[in-house]
């Protein structure tokens, strides 16, 4: 039987000798509708990404060996989670909803409040977080160095024994392979009129015009990679600190990062606190203009939207979540 972390990933084993062979990973590619990858990403080798895949699905990196990165970022759910807040070691609830990892290769900020500047920096944060994997990094590295197969894989992929930099590089290299594009929306924009049905075309038109959704969900990845206060998570009428916890700026209170809309149909529930269960709930939330508070983003206001508009917008979002063969996550 294949190890559980490989079965979860749905990826094939490479033909290598050894007790735990490195998995094969998706090729470093640029699906239609997405920008070409930058130079430092293309330098990530298959061996490095394969090592990252093994680490991503291995509970060895958690204090009680009960959870892995994939426990909160499930491939079948667009590398997100179906719970409002995931459970870490000892069944502890995490502070925020697990965001999708799809297309994070195109990210400018990482984590909901942007506390990490790179994928490499972000990759190590959950390991030491006491509510998530709760394993001091020195102990994680000691476990990896005590494992003969991991030492061999690090030597192959990184050129040295397991260390902090190599661990971060490997995990980030795997996440960079998780790309989703070439959706019916991309094909429609490229000239294939029949790629979208009438409802999906109407939803795209609303998104790009009266809905104003593009103001925050902009660009090829449908995210401006910026931070906005939408009124999610108000407590007694006041927003959570959000971005302000890092910057100290009052204007950043309640601001959280704009997620990509690619793959969004598989990543429910939504928002940083997982408080909206369905895409219909999300559309209804923005239809009313978010939740009023003193720091509400000025771009938000009640929308002139009919029930048909709302249904069409959801149809468009579902179309945007499909890949070239209808899949909603990388194979």
CA 316 to chain CA mean position, Å: 20
Identify the domain containing residue 79 by its residue range. Answer: 4-175
Q: Per mean pLDDT, which range of 2-11, 43-52, 130-139, 261-270 is the poorest?
A: 2-11
Concatenating the DSSP letter of every residue in 243-305 gives THHHH--GGGBTBEEPPP-TTGGGS-SBSTT--B-SHHHHHHHHHTTS---TT--TT------
Question: 55-64, 145-154, 229-238, 303-312: which has the minimum mean pLDDT?
Answer: 229-238
What's the whole-number average pLDDT of the chain?
91
pLDDT above 70 for 310: yes
Whether 193 and 313 map to the same domain: the answer is: yes
Task: Tell me, yes or no, whether 128 lies in a domain.
Answer: yes
Domain count, the chain: 2
Q: What is the reported pLDDT for 8?
A: 40
Identify whether 255 is part of a domain.
yes
Mean pLDDT of all residues in 194-207: 98
Do residues 209 and 258 both lie within one domain? yes
pLDDT tens digits, one per residue of 180-199: 999 999 999 999 999 999 99
Q: Is residue 136 in some structural domain?
A: yes
329 found inside a domain: no
Any domain includes 326: no
Unique residue bearing structure tokens 């060895």: 60
Is residue 330, in this structure, part of any structural domain at all?
A: no
Strand pairing class (256-257; 227-228): antiparallel
Q: Which of 125, 149, 175 is the last residue of a domain?
A: 175
Which element (helix H / strand E) includes 227?
strand 227-228
Q: Quick one: 137 and 248 in the same domain?
A: no
- Whether 171 shows a pLDDT value over 70: the answer reads yes
Domain end among 175, 194, 229? 175
What's the CATH code of the domain at 270? 1.10.760.10
Residue 79 near residue 73 (C-beta atoms within 8 A): yes
User: What are the structure tokens assigned to 329, written together?
Assistant: 């996550």
- Where does a domain end: 175, 204, 236? 175
If asked whether residues 147 and 241 sit together in one domain, one would say no
User: Are 76 and 207 in a shared domain?
Assistant: no
Gap between the Cα atoms of 290 and 231, Å rounded: 6
pTM more than 0.85: yes
Contacts of 278 (CB under 8 A, 6+ apart): 268, 269, 270
Q: Among 5-14, 29-38, 208-217, which is the least confidently predicted range?
A: 5-14
Residues 88 and 120 in one domain: yes
Q: What percent of the chain has pLDDT over 90?
A: 84
**Which tokens is 281 given?**
């709930």
- DSSP per position, 31-79: -TTSPPPPHHHHT--HHHHHHHHHHHT-GGGSTTS---HHHHSBGGGTT
* Residues 72 and 202 occupy one common structural domain: no
Helix (H, G, I), strand (E, B) or coil at 150: helix
CA dist., res. 122 & res. 257, Å (int): 14
The verdict on whether omega for the bond into residue 263 sits within 30 degrees of 0, i.e. cis, is no
Whether residues 163 and 215 share a domain: the answer is: no
């Amino acid at each position: 039987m294949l190890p559980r972390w490989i079965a979860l990933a749905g990826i094939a084993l490479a033909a290598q000798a050894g007790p735990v062979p490195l998995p094969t990973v998706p090729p470093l590619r640029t699906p239609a509708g997405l920008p070409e990858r930058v130079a430092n990403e293309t330098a990530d080798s298959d061996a490095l990404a394969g090592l990252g895949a093994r680490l991503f699905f291995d509970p060895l990196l958690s204090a009680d060996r009960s959870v892995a990165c994939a426990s909160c970022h499930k491939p079948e759910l667009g590398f997100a989670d179906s719970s409002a807040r995931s459970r870490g070691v000892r069944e502890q609830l995490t502070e925020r909803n697990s965001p999708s990892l799809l297309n994070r290769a195109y990210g400018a900020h990482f984590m909901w409040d942007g506390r990490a500047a790179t994928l490499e920096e972000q990759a190590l944060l959950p390991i030491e977080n006491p509510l998530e994997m709760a394993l001091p990094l020195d102990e994680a590295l000691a476990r990896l160095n005590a494992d003969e197969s991991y030492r061999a894989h690090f030597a192959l992929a990184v050129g040295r024994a397991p260390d902090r930099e190599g661990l971060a590089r490997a995990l980030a290299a795997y996440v960079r392979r998780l790309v989703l594009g070439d959706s019916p929306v991309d094909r429609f924009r490229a000239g294939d009129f029949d790629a979208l049905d009438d409802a999906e075309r109407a939803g795209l038109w609303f998104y790009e015009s009266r809905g104003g959704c593009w103001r925050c969900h902009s660009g090829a990845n449908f995210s401006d990679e910026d931070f906005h206060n939408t009124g999610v998570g108000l407590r007694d009428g006041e927003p959570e600190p959000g971005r302000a916890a890092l910057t100290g700026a009052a204007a950043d209170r309640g601001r959280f990062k704009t997620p990509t809309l690619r793959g969004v149909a598989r990543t429910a529930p939504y928002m940083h606190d997982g408080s909206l269960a369905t895409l219909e709930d999300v559309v209804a939330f923005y239809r009313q203009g978010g939740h009023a508070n003193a720091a509400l983003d000025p771009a938000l206001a009640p929308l002139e939207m009919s029930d048909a508009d709302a249904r069409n917008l959801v149809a468009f979002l579902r179309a945007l979540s499909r890949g070239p063969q209808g899949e909603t996550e990388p194979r």
